[in-house]
A and B are shown apart, each in its own frame.
Chain A
Amino acid sequence: MNRTTIDLWVGIFVTMGIAALVFLALKVGNLNGAQLADPYPLTAKFDNIGGLKARAPIKSAGVVVGRIDSIKLDPENFQAVVAMHIDSRYSFPRDTYATINTSGLLGEQYIGLEPGGDTDVLKPGEVLKKTQSAVVLEKLISQFMFSKAAETAPAAAPEPSK
């Protein structure tokens, strides 16, 4: 069996196809990006997680250090239990603060870790105790409106007595 030009063309074709797939995987997707090195688990409980979703990033000082595995509701005290994996290169103090932030005005939500000053670090499987819920825009607006109403109410009340 001899080599033919068709073989060459098919070889070029298949190589181009595989190169395109690799391009899609590496350059368009993030296959090489946020690979976690030997991650360890942590959990955190929030009163309200807003629009947080599984696989959302965990960031500390803006750097991605982990990902969310799952989000469940604790049937005992009705808190959201967020299970996450953190890159083992990073360890955080025990009094680390976990907050739910939004990237940009309309971006996706992520968990931000703000390290405290404790000398002990969080061990695998431990629970982050200090958390801050997601900011719910409706609550914020209603709070603002009620406080405005409370400000104007005493001013309006004395008027009839005058």
Chain B
Amino acid sequence: MPMHYSGLAMLDGTVSAFRNIGTRVINAVWRLGYAARFFVSIMAASGTGFRRFNLILREIYFSGVLSLIIILVSGLFVGMVLGLQGYDTLQRYGSEEALGVLVALSLVRELGPVVAGLLFASRAGSAITAEIGLMKATEQLDAMDMMAVNPIARVIAPRFWGAAISLPLLVAMFSTMGVYGGFLIGAVHIGVDAGAFWGQMQTAIDFQRDILNGVVKSVVFGFAIALISVFEGYDSDATAEGVSRATTRTVVTSSLAILGLDFILTSFMFRG
């Protein structure tokens, strides 16, 4: 008899585990659909958002200008590390003049968009989510709805566009600082010929293939981070715990989205 019971209990455990997986999958698909509908409603509300441009300007200030320090400093250090590591590897093959190409190519194509995107997601994306989540928890969004102010047009759309506009500019600054950092270490500190550093860089880097593709990446990442941040905030549970969970989820989801999108975009851009 006891065996029968324990067998039933095990079956019960298995069933609830499967049920758990099912709930999670359905929930994820549900949220994905909701996020898509949310994106469409942001786009629909953006017309009024752009007419009140000072709202977007305010959000560019909060997510873009306030991220400047971290982006510029990390760009400089990433470039300096690339200069040191690249020189160490290249001098074994006697081609340390190619240092400029190595630094600029890796920054413009990959490191700029990805590292700046990751930094931006944790610096600005989390702040957007926390702000919107707290607005929801303190029923400010509901209050706006009551006053016939569309919270998506007034709160969500400006934050979305502020983040989406800021990231491509930040990525360009990150790459520039990185190239300059590589120049400081490579040409000024180590003593690679500065003319060869810039000259080889300019012949090897193609405007369309390398720089424009990097800009396309940064624009795509900007949209992805912006959508994830505002959606997680809007969809958070209206509690202190819910806001903290949503903030964590923003950073995790944005980081994974950046890396996944980066792989997909790279495989499209540099296949041949």
Contact = CB atoms under 8 A, between A and B. Distances in A.
B54 A1 contact: yes
A55 B204 CA distance: 12
A20 B175 contact: yes
A16 interface: yes
B61 A9 contact: yes
Interface residues of A, number: 23
Given A16-B169, A17-B169, A29 B202 contact: yes
B207 A13 contact: no
B60 A13 contact: yes
B64 A30 contact: no
Contacts of B65: 9-10, 12-13
Contacts of A73: none
The main secondary structure of chain A at its interface with chain B is: helix
The main secondary structure of chain B at its interface with chain A is: helix
Interface in A124-149: none
Contacts of B175: 20, 24, 28
B135 interface: no
A37 interface: no
Of the candidates A25, A28, A29, A31, the one having the most CB atoms from chain B within 10 angstroms of its own CB is A28
A31 B201 CA distance: 12
Interface in B21-69: 54, 57-58, 60-61, 64-65, 68
A18 B170 CA distance: 10
Given A29-B205, A30-B207, A6 B61 contact: yes
Q: Which 5 A/B pairs are nearest by Cβ-Cβ distance? A: A17-B169, A20-B172, A20-B176, A29-B207, A20-B173
